Structure 1
Amino acid sequence: MSKQTSATIFLILITLLVSTASQAKVIHQERSLYRNILVEDSGNLRCLKFNVRSKKSNQSCFLKSEPERLVFNYTKLMFSGMIVNPNPERILIIGLGGGTMSNTLHQLLPNATIENVEIDPAVIDVARKYFSFFENDHVTSVVKDGRIYIKRALLKKQTYDWIILDAFNGDYIPEHLLTKEFLTEAKGLLSDNGVLTANTFSISDLYNYESATYHDVFGDFYSVHNRKNENRIILVTPNGLPSLDSLKPNLGPLHDRLRQYGVNILDVYESFSSEQDWPADTKVLTDQFSPANLLNL
């Protein structure tokens, strides 16, 4: 069987599994300080969901028979960060979910330090119990608001080679993690060869505002997205974007390292775009002009 055929069959299986979500069995449910948390099983697929405003949103999923294989397309696109920096030594993840990203990165980079920051202690407990999230001397989790954590890390003069922003409250990214002030603080934590990847949505009403804000803080950035879902990864660096041609030598070694997790790094690379597709006069998001304000425009 060819790799292409195998990948096609895998995608069909995932589609079938997701399509049976309405028949999912709830194996855990609780109300935390921040949200309703559900863990549902649909055959071989287990998903963490946040129930917000009468809808359920998947936060993390894994295949129980193949827990190392990534399910969501956006998590695969997140590995665009390793195209820019293939061997980050210090990684900061804001927003834990089921801990899938942390687990995968630890397998890939066993000597890297991975700090997970999650505001909801119930989410950490669920990740440990139902999604095999693990911690050790290299992998830690902290219950803290992501912005407060970054602000304190900046005061301590800490630096990171890769910052991953993946915090969602169920509806969208918390507004205080979208502003110019916050991104400026996050930029200050990046090492000289550091990279930041942020999970956003390509069809969000905030698309233009987010784009303008990231551009205001970092300059040119790569949007990493494709037609497989609605997510968009924003990729930035502190000292200007490397050219796509300069990144090509990293693809071969990464392909071999990532394929066991279901990541086709060539597809990720081909999803890069630096097009400025937002109006030039778009307002920048600030602590005074936030997404909540946009609802009143």
Structure 2
Amino acid sequence: MNKILCLLVVISTISLPSIAKVIHQERSLYRNILVEDKFNLRCLKFNVKTSKTNQSCLYKNDPQRLVFNYTKLLFSSLLVMEKAPENILIIGLGGGTMSNTLHQLYPSARITNVEIDPAVIKVARQYFGFFENERVTSKVQDGRIFIKRAALKKKRYDWIILDAFNGDYIPEHLLTREFLQEAKQLLTPDGVLSANTFSISELYNHESATYYQVFGDFFNVRNSKNSNRIILAVNQELPDGKQITERAQALNQTLKPYNINIIDITTNMTSTMDEKDWPTQTKLLTDQYSPANLLNY
């Protein structure tokens, strides 16, 4: 009888749902912000009403090791660069994971993080170890306004990362042809623009057509593990398969400590030179036509 009781206790313990503990919660000017701990995982959430709420996560016992597949996929950008980036612009901070990782990889690079919500920056510093110094800075500003002003100042970046979300989707004014044209002006001649978006969005065709209209051919990077896709757009011709393979082999050992298998990621890269998977007459997203926040994904 005692054995049966013990077995029941073990079964009930295993079947109990693991409950995340909310360690911080606030309502900012723009969104609901939550920080939750679940065993070794700490996550930042922006919107509790939808199922896709995690904006950033870290392993508390190993913050260097990346959690999200999309974050790892972003490092495919290094495969289309001829040299290490010296000036990096990140639109959308989250927990600051990308900024922290890039600073570890390229300590001499200048990294500018742009985040519209000052509460997100505060939470990133307090709960996710977001690191700043004279080379890593954060700006409280709308990403599009920052880019407009940076263009007036003749700023140039080797790598621009678009990773802004409002809790539902990418803000629609950061998806349009006009915005992408403004961002393209900030790229150095061999610069790369990386956009974190989705492969199952109702806007997929519109986004693809819009990026193609502004940049020409680009890379899609995606895998079967999630619905994210990374768009890699450049200011010059896309590198060929041999160049990408060589760069992946050179970066492989450097990126392993961050839980990034860059060689595996090369198998998830496709070029629009080989396949344009959207209808020819797809309507472009513009400042006059940008229904991003009205569509579900």
The TM-score normalised by the length of structure 2 is: 0.90
Distance in 2 (CA, whole Å) between partners of 1:32 and 1:294 is: 22
Q: Find out whether 1:117 has 2:114 as its counterpart.
A: yes
Distance in 1 (CA, whole Å) between partners of 2:30 and 2:170 is: 14
Unaligned segments of structure 2, at least 5 residues = 1-15
- Name the residue aligned to 1:75: 71
Distance in 1 (CA, whole Å) between partners of 2:292 and 2:106 is: 38
Distance in 2 (CA, whole Å) between partners of 1:54 and 1:266 is: 34
Q: Is the 8 A contact 1:218 1:240 kept in 2?
A: no
What is the CA-CA distance between 1:74 and the residue it aligns to? 0.2
In our comparison, the structure showing a higher alpha carbon Rg is 2
Q: Residue deviations 1:176-227, cap 9 Å, x none?
A: 0000000000001000110011000100110000000000000011000010
- Name the residue aligned to 2:47: 51
- Name the residue aligned to 1:32: 28
- Name the residue aligned to 1:9: none
Q: Find out whether 1:143 has 2:140 as its counterpart.
A: yes
CA change 1:253–1:216 in 2 (3 A) is same
What is the CA-CA distance between 1:244 and the residue it aligns to? 2.3
Over the matched positions of the two proteins, sequence identity in percent amounts to 68
What is the CA-CA distance between 1:22 and the residue it aligns to? 6.0
The TM-score normalised by the length of structure 1 is: 0.90
CA change 1:262–1:273 in 2 (3 A) is same
- Name the residue aligned to 1:290: 290
Q: The residue matched to 1:276 in structure 2 has which SS?
A: coil
Q: Find out whether 1:265 has 2:256 as its counterpart.
A: no
Q: The residue matched to 2:65 in structure 1 has which SS?
A: strand
Q: The residue matched to 1:104 in structure 2 has which SS?
A: helix
Q: Is the 8 A contact 2:170 2:292 kept in 1?
A: no
Q: The residue matched to 1:30 in structure 2 has which SS?
A: strand
What is the CA-CA distance between 1:98 and the residue it aligns to? 0.1
Q: Which amino acid aligns with 1:176?
A: H
1:203-222 matches, within 5 Å, as: 203-222=200-219
What is the CA-CA distance between 1:280 and the residue it aligns to? 0.7
- Name the residue aligned to 1:97: 94
Q: Which runs of 4+ in 1 moved over 6 A?
A: none
What is the CA-CA distance between 1:292 and the residue it aligns to? 4.8
Q: Is the 8 A contact 1:35 1:52 kept in 2?
A: no
Distance in 2 (CA, whole Å) between partners of 1:221 and 1:201 is: 15
What is the CA-CA distance between 1:54 and the residue it aligns to? 5.4
Q: The residue matched to 1:51 in structure 2 has which SS?
A: coil
Q: Residue deviations 1:261-288, cap 9 Å, x none?
A: 0000011111111121111110000000
Distance in 2 (CA, whole Å) between partners of 1:61 and 1:70 is: 8
1:196-235 matches, within 5 Å, as: 196-235=193-232
Unaligned segments of structure 1, at least 5 residues = 1-19
Please provide the CA RMSD for this pair: 1.5
Question: 171-180 or 284-293: which moved more?
Answer: 284-293
CA change 1:70–1:287 in 2 (3 A) is same
- Name the residue aligned to 1:6: none
Q: Is the 8 A contact 1:219 1:240 kept in 2?
A: no
Q: Find out whether 1:157 has 2:154 as its counterpart.
A: yes
Distance in 1 (CA, whole Å) between partners of 2:233 and 2:17 is: 35
Q: Is the 8 A contact 2:168 2:293 kept in 1?
A: no
Q: Find out whether 1:279 has 2:276 as its counterpart.
A: no
Q: Is the 8 A contact 1:221 1:235 kept in 2?
A: yes
- Name the residue aligned to 2:253: 256
Q: Find out whether 1:87 has 2:84 as its counterpart.
A: yes
- Name the residue aligned to 2:13: none
Q: Residue deviations 1:82-126, cap 9 Å, x none?
A: 111251000000000000000000000000000000000000000
CA change 1:56–1:220 in 2 (3 A) is closer
Distance in 1 (CA, whole Å) between partners of 2:242 and 2:52 is: 41
Q: Which amino acid aligns with 1:281?
A: Q
Question: 236-245 or 48-57: which moved more?
Answer: 48-57
CA change 1:58–1:145 in 2 (3 A) is same
Question: 243-252 or 73-82: which moved more?
Answer: 243-252
Distance in 2 (CA, whole Å) between partners of 1:205 and 1:292 is: 9
CA change 1:294–1:44 in 2 (3 A) is closer
Question: 111-120 or 270-279: which moved more?
Answer: 270-279
Q: Which amino acid aligns with 2:78?
A: M
What is the CA-CA distance between 1:247 and the residue it aligns to? 2.2
Q: Is the 8 A contact 1:88 1:161 kept in 2?
A: yes
Distance in 2 (CA, whole Å) between partners of 1:142 and 1:185 is: 18
CA change 1:52–1:181 in 2 (3 A) is farther
